[in-house]
Structure 1
């Protein structure tokens, strides 16, 4: 299992993982293009992947421009192995090292992702649209959560 920064050549496999998920699925996979991935990975922020036997099984992308987590997804065959937690931690350590004080994300109600973020110290701050919860995490909350 290798965790590393995402490269441009990873986008095709990132798309495979994104479209394989069972929760927080895209209503239309064409809504997130390879160009979108490239922009978020290399112009707006940075991303990381988890690779097993040269296959990407999970990825995370932070967006510095809008101060949010653009993506954190695992292929369903690789859940419950600590991959999501490791990607999450790598991403947030980098994000807050960039001088940022707060980050947000959204996820669907009653999903494993919702439970994951609550457990990781994220605080619910309201709704995002009508079908998602908006969470925020401050740098202080991140530091305090990691001391526990």
Structure 2
């Protein structure tokens, strides 16, 4: 497995991963375009990918403009291998290194993603307008969580 920053040539494979998920499925595949991916990857924030045998199997994208996690997705057959956690950690290390104090994300209730974020120390802040659970992580919480991991 190789982890690296996403580049412009990754957008097509990122879209393949996004369309392969079994939870948090897009109701309309045209809702997230290649242009949207480029916007969030290169103008609003940054992203990372995990490659296996030259194919992207997971990605994560943080948005500095709206202070949120825009995406963290894996191909279903690669879940449970620590890839999501590694992408998550790379993304949050970068995000908080920019000086930001907190970040949020939304995910559907009763999903593996909900359990994943709870396990990683995100704090639930209620439901958003799409009836997704809104989670928040502060830089202080992130530093504390990292200390726990390394002790």
Normalised by the length of structure 2, the TM-score is: 0.97
Superposed CA RMSD in Å reads 0.6
Residue aligned with 2:42, SS? helix
- Superimposed CA distance per residue, residues 61-82 of structure 1 (whole angstroms, 9 cap, x where no aligned partner): 0000000000000000100000
How far did 1:131 drift?
2.5
How far did 1:147 drift?
1.4
For residues 1-80 of structure 1, what are the structure 2 equivalents within 5 Å? 1-80=1-80
2:123 aligns to what? 123
Residue aligned with 1:18, SS? helix
Distance 1:13 1:106 in 2: 23
Distance 1:61 1:142 in 2: 17
Which contiguous aligned blocks of 4+ residues in structure 1 show a shift greater than 6 angstroms? none
Residue aligned with 2:70, SS? strand
> Which ranges of structure 1 fall in alignment gaps of 5 or more residues?
none
Pair 1:132 & 2:140 matched: no
